[in-house]
A and B are shown apart, each in its own frame.
Chain A
Amino acid sequence: MMKVIQRAFLISICMLTTLTAYAQQSYSLEGVVTNKKGQPLENAQLTLQEPDLHTVTDQTGAFAFSSLRSGSYTLTISHVGYQSLHRSVDIDYSSRDSLTFQLAIKRYESPSVVVTATRSSRDIEEVPEPVTVISDKQIKASGNTRLSEILAEQTGLTLTSDHGTGIQVQGFSSDYTKIMIDGQPLIGRTAGTLNLDRISVGNVQQVEMIKGPSSALWGSDALAGVINIITEKGQRPFELGINSRYATNKTLDLGLNLSTRKNNWQQNFYFNRNSSGGYRLRPNSISQTVPSYHNYTTSYQTSFPLFQAVEIEFQGRYYREEQSSRDYLGDAENPTLLDSDALQEDYSLAPTINFELGTHTTAKLSHYFSRYRTDSRYQYRQGDSLYEHTQFDQYYNKSELQLNHNWSVNHISSLGSGYKHEQLKAQRYAGDPAFNSYFIFAQHEWIPTGRWDIIGGLRYDGHSEYAAQLSPKFSARYKLFEWLHLRGSAGSGFKAPDFRQLFLNFTNPTVGYSVFGSSTVRDRVQELQERGQINEILIPLDQLNEIKAEHSWAYNVGIDLYPTDNLELRINLFHNDVSDLIESAPIATKNNGQSIYSYFNLEDVYTRGIETQLRWEPNRQIELSAGYQLLDARRKIEGTRTVQNGQGEVVEKTYSSFKPMFNRSKHTANLKLYYFWEALDVDANIRGTWHGPYGRTDANGNTYVDSNEYEDGYMIWDTNLAKTFRDRYTLRMGIDNILDFTRPSDLSYLPGRIFYARISLQLY
């Protein structure tokens, strides 16, 4: 018994000795953080993982972590106004020296990681798709506040005005580009346009853009391309920034960014108020070209680990705009004045759970809810009675599961599936129409060697109201040399028929014609027939085909050249074949002499062209970028014509040819020059865009552009100058549209010359 006790005692002693010895083996990490000039940086944030340890530098830029065990750590150093630095540090016997870390000042460098191309984070130089990325630095340097203004400066993009500011991509009108925030679609289109003025860019980390159909990953609407806005996620434990901008036309923008990060719990809050007094391009007109408005954007994002390997993420966004304008009835000489108040509201909620299922598999389960609603009233100025009150209310729900699996370094698969439910409450639509759709997609990426990257994908979209869609995509990248990469892709895209094309139930009260959506037209016409109101049926009801989604096939071939470290040239050739574009056409005539219209797959279109993008940074002070797009967009014109034969007798001749489309410039180009004077913390830039001649007025009504129907091209130049104080306070002053170019007849979004000043304060 005594022996047992003795042995136990001895073991305990031994253990104690070992523990003491272990405790003595703790290390520290010391160092200094400076800028590139060697000047110490105070208040630089340092995080050491794992576990999370934080510290900040003192006045001399010095920091120290103590009581560290030996091993490998990740060190992150961040400071306001500087690029964050990530280092892995091995702490062992040899690491006793004080380390010096130099941070580089934030410049207009292009970001490197994109998610839109593959639905997972990838290096932009790896993905085979032609992706364009606009960084937050570029956005801030431009001095702009809305997404429309940012996109207007990009190669190959043209703004359009039709019930809001939309974007034309590769010659497609704005209906065909999908707009997303953090991978979730924005809803609320009016006449096909999603108004890009709705989107504030004050909390944007980067805007990613894929031109060409991407329905294999993103489903409907991604026919011309996808624009995905990635919001900012704070890097430091606590960040607070405010900014304000005041510009011509009493335009005021106020923004607040707040973010916290602690033990992997991250929160980001953003608030923005934007208002304008509006403007008139025709000085004596009764209505303003763009009426006065004010709007609010609020968004909140948070993510935290629930357990090990389970992370919860939540995003919410709220937007509200009120706009008041003056309108009139009758002729302008003797008008009946109307006052209009329009409200627009949209909000969305998106909870997500991310799972790590072992070392090779991740899963993402998400739900997305969004509602968009408008409410507008027209009131007679005299008598104050109501002239018109219209409401529109749209609901969107989407549940989705995505799995990513790394089979090996060379094989990565993604598989996803989801369900969507959409509903509408509005006048002109009988009985709250709703539709359901479901989808499944798969993508596989194969990296056979360091030179090749090959991706194949397929998506199936089933729908309650129209024919199902199968969207394949294949793309590949080949590194011929380190400085020359080849890219190619082929894929298809589609755009689902919208609520209007499916469910519209509208009869013009004064003229008496009717328009019915394709899902309702059969019943409505039968109803009218039973009531004896139909004169003639032009297309027998039993011969009506189920409406199909608008569909495209696209081919992209590109070369990326990196001849030197500071020079980059990308050339991309594209060709899009679009079929089954939906147009309205008469289906029957009524006894009142008017027609009944419905929607049919009628039109064929093709667009093709070349896009080039050059970026050159000759030194640390200067960055130059230039872009050019050649575009040929044509629509198929076909029909029969009554003509005469050689004897002068009447014969019917069919014709079919592709003719140029309106509102598309064959040539567009842009040039941006940024100058950065590090010693004085001053930066300046000048940015220009040019649109070549475009067809505008169909003077002879043949629905395509003739050589005498071109409008002159135009140029817009913007410039600004900024001074940054103490790396965190920036004053920027600039002029947009220096040449004061306006064209009231069709470029209503161009307000003429704008002066502005912007103050950004990074408080923490």
Chain B
Amino acid sequence: MLLITNKTFSLPLLAAAFALLFTACDDSSTGPETGEEESQIETHTVEDLDTGYGGRMTPNDTLYYSLRENSIVDKSDSVSTQWDLAFSGTTIYTNSEASGPGDGGAIVLGQTFDATTIAPSEGYAIDTTATNLAITTGSDNGWYHYTGQKGTPPHTIVPLENTTLIVRTADGKHYAKLRIISWYKGNPDLSSDEFANNSDNYPSGNYTFEYAIQLNGTRTFTEE
């Protein structure tokens, strides 16, 4: 069950935002760096985005997601710029070079979500090969820590604290900051005995994350 909640914006506001977005996209004469546009920040929390991982040993499904639309993109549109991020197991692809036709990219910042008030102007990494990704894979390399056999709880994917992903959208024009909250369905408390004893109730490969996206073409994540 995919649940998309909208924390700060009501539906009419969201619609207005989209309208503005299209205007902004159409009007290419307006430079993205002028900073005079009215801020159009959307903040969303996406819960239990199921990548179809389900505890299987090899990730065999990929889920495409549009941060701009805050919605899942159908797999048939995987070769398009509709999606910004794709999730497969613990791997997150950006819509760039080896992964898609877009101008996406990402930076993994070692700072908190709240402290991130602006997206950097440069330094974005892209997916150059199937294994060399903008959001680097592996424990402690990108967004998560894997506790391993000796960990408590063992064999668990724990999102790294003080880690914020800056994502450039597939159109190369917008920036989002993103924090992954959980990789387990229902966002369980990973330190609880409940999770340790009944891990089957919390299937893995279910992303819960929050993100803020600036749709006015600037890089700021502040309202003013």
Question: Do the two shown chains form a genuine complex with each other?
Answer: yes
Residues of A that sit less than 8 Å from B by CB: 162, 282, 331-333, 593, 595, 641-644, 648-650, 653, 662, 696-703, 708-709, 745-746
User: What chain A residues lie within 8 Å of B55 (beta carbons)?
Assistant: 331
Enumerate B154-187 residues with CB–CB distance to A below 8 Å: 158-162
Inter-chain CA distance A662–B120, complex, in Å, is 36
Q: Is the CB of A650 within 8 A of B152?
A: no
Q: Is the CB of B152 within 8 A of A746?
A: yes
Enumerate B27-62 residues with CB–CB distance to A below 8 Å: 55
User: What chain B residues lie within 8 Å of A662 (beta carbons)?
Assistant: 152
Q: Given A641-B110, A642-B109, A648-B117 in contact, is the A702-B122 Cβ separation under 8 Å?
A: no
Q: Given A643-B111, A648-B117 in contact, is the A709-B191 Cβ separation under 8 Å?
A: yes
User: What chain A residues lie within 8 Å of B159 (beta carbons)?
Assistant: 700-701
Q: Is the CB of A644 within 8 A of B160?
A: no
**Residue of B118, B139, B219 with most chain A CB atoms under a 10 A cut-off:** B118
CB distance from A529 to the nearest CB of B (A): 19
Q: Is the CB of A702 within 8 A of B160?
A: yes
CB distance from A327 to the nearest CB of B (A): 15
Q: Is the CB of A701 within 8 A of B110?
A: no
B69 within 8 A of A: no
User: What chain B residues lie within 8 Å of A745 (beta carbons)?
Assistant: 152-153, 193, 196
Q: Is the CB of B145 within 8 A of A702?
A: yes
Q: Given A648-B118, A649-B121, A699-B191 in contact, is the A641-B111 Cβ separation under 8 Å?
A: yes
CB distance from B199 to the nearest CB of A (A): 10
CB distance from B116 to the nearest CB of A (A): 7
Q: 9 closest A-B pairs (Cβ-Cβ)? A: A701-B145, A641-B110, A648-B118, A697-B191, A701-B158, A650-B123, A700-B161, A699-B191, A593-B131
CB distance from A312 to the nearest CB of B (A): 47
Inter-chain CA distance A662–B138, complex, in Å, is 22
B200 within 8 A of A: yes
User: What chain B residues lie within 8 Å of A701 (beta carbons)?
Assistant: 139-140, 144-147, 158-161
Inter-chain CA distance A702–B147, complex, in Å, is 10
B151 within 8 A of A: yes
CB distance from B178 to the nearest CB of A (A): 15
CB distance from B79 to the nearest CB of A (A): 23
Instruction: Please give me the residue from chain A that is nearest to B131 by CB atom.
Output: A593
Inter-chain CA distance A687–B55, complex, in Å, is 46
CB distance from A441 to the nearest CB of B (A): 35
User: What chain B residues lie within 8 Å of A648 (beta carbons)?
Assistant: 117-121, 219
Instruction: Please give me the residue from chain A that is nearest to B193 by CB atom.
Output: A745
Neighbour of A698 across the interface among B107, B152, B196, CB < 8 A: B152
Mind listing 10 A-B residue pairs with CB under 8 Å?
A641-B162, A642-B107, A648-B219, A649-B120, A649-B122, A699-B189, A701-B139, A701-B145, A702-B145, A702-B162
Q: Given A644-B111, A650-B122 in contact, is the A698-B219 Cβ separation under 8 Å?
A: no
User: What chain A residues lie within 8 Å of B118 (beta carbons)?
Assistant: 644, 648
Q: Is the CB of B219 within 8 A of A644?
A: no
CB distance from B159 to the nearest CB of A (A): 7
CB distance from B94 to the nearest CB of A (A): 16
CB distance from B105 to the nearest CB of A (A): 12
The count of A-to-B residue pairs whose CB atoms sit within 8 angstroms is 83
Enumerate B105-133 residues with CB–CB distance to A below 8 Å: 107-111, 116-123, 131
Inter-chain CA distance A709–B151, complex, in Å, is 13
Inter-chain CA distance A701–B55, complex, in Å, is 20
Q: Given A699-B191, A701-B160 in contact, is the A649-B109 Cβ separation under 8 Å?
A: no
B197 within 8 A of A: yes
CB distance from B135 to the nearest CB of A (A): 12
Inter-chain CA distance A641–B164, complex, in Å, is 11
User: What chain A residues lie within 8 Å of B109 (beta carbons)?
Assistant: 642-644, 650
Neighbour of B200 across the interface among A282, A333, A650, A699, CB < 8 A: A333
User: From DSSP, what is the main secondary structure of chain B's interface residues?
Assistant: loop
Enumerate B187-219 residues with CB–CB distance to A below 8 Å: 189-191, 193, 196-197, 200, 219
Q: How large is the interface on B (under 10, 10 to 19, 20 to 34, 35 or more residues)?
A: 35 or more
Inter-chain CA distance A563–B51, complex, in Å, is 70
Q: Is the CB of B120 within 8 A of A650?
A: yes
Q: Is the CB of A644 within 8 A of B147?
A: no
Instruction: Please give me the residue from chain A that is nearest to B220 by CB atom.
Output: A648
User: What chain A residues lie within 8 Å of B160 (beta carbons)?
Assistant: 700-702
* Supplied contacts A700-B159, A708-B191, 15 more A-B pairs, CB within 8 Å: A162-B150, A641-B110, A641-B111, A642-B107, A642-B109, A648-B120, A650-B107, A650-B109, A697-B152, A698-B145, A699-B190, A701-B139, A702-B145, A703-B140, A745-B153
Instruction: Please give me the residue from chain A that is nearest to B109 by CB atom.
Output: A642
CB distance from A575 to the nearest CB of B (A): 27
Inter-chain CA distance A593–B189, complex, in Å, is 32
CB distance from B104 to the nearest CB of A (A): 17
Inter-chain CA distance A464–B51, complex, in Å, is 52
User: What chain A residues lie within 8 Å of B191 (beta carbons)?
Assistant: 696-697, 699, 708-709
User: What chain A residues lie within 8 Å of B193 (beta carbons)?
Assistant: 745
Inter-chain CA distance A701–B141, complex, in Å, is 12
CB distance from A583 to the nearest CB of B (A): 13
Q: Is the CB of A702 within 8 A of B197?
A: no
CB distance from B169 to the nearest CB of A (A): 18
CB distance from B107 to the nearest CB of A (A): 6
Q: Is the CB of A282 within 8 A of B197?
A: yes
Q: Is the CB of A644 within 8 A of B197?
A: no
Q: Is the CB of A697 within 8 A of B190?
A: yes
User: What chain A residues lie within 8 Å of B131 (beta carbons)?
Assistant: 593
Inter-chain CA distance A648–B158, complex, in Å, is 27
Neighbour of B161 across the interface among A162, A643, A702, CB < 8 A: A702
Q: Is the CB of A644 within 8 A of B152?
A: no
Inter-chain CA distance A678–B108, complex, in Å, is 73
User: What chain A residues lie within 8 Å of B116 (beta carbons)?
Assistant: 644
User: What chain B residues lie within 8 Å of A703 (beta carbons)?
Assistant: 140, 145
Inter-chain CA distance A112–B123, complex, in Å, is 69
CB distance from B198 to the nearest CB of A (A): 10
User: What chain B residues lie within 8 Å of A644 (beta carbons)?
Assistant: 109, 111, 116, 118, 120
Instruction: Please give me the residue from chain B that is nearest to A162 by CB atom.
Output: B150
User: What chain B residues lie within 8 Å of A746 (beta carbons)?
Assistant: 152
Q: Given A643-B109, A745-B196 in contact, is the A700-B122 Cβ separation under 8 Å?
A: no
Inter-chain CA distance A723–B10, complex, in Å, is 80
Inter-chain CA distance A699–B147, complex, in Å, is 9
Inter-chain CA distance A333–B55, complex, in Å, is 14
Inter-chain CA distance A662–B200, complex, in Å, is 26
Chain B 95-111 near chain A by CB (<8 Å), digits 1 or 0 = 00000000000011111
Inter-chain CA distance A745–B139, complex, in Å, is 23
Inter-chain CA distance A698–B158, complex, in Å, is 8
CB distance from A587 to the nearest CB of B (A): 14
Inter-chain CA distance A332–B150, complex, in Å, is 20
User: What chain A residues lie within 8 Å of B200 (beta carbons)?
Assistant: 331-333
Instruction: Please give me the residue from chain B that is nearest to A650 by CB atom.
Output: B123
Inter-chain CA distance A333–B200, complex, in Å, is 10
Instruction: Please give me the residue from chain B that is nearest to A648 by CB atom.
Output: B118
User: What chain A residues lie within 8 Å of B108 (beta carbons)?
Assistant: 642
Inter-chain CA distance A456–B196, complex, in Å, is 51
**Residue of A162, A644, A648, A650 with most chain B CB atoms under a 10 A cut-off:** A644
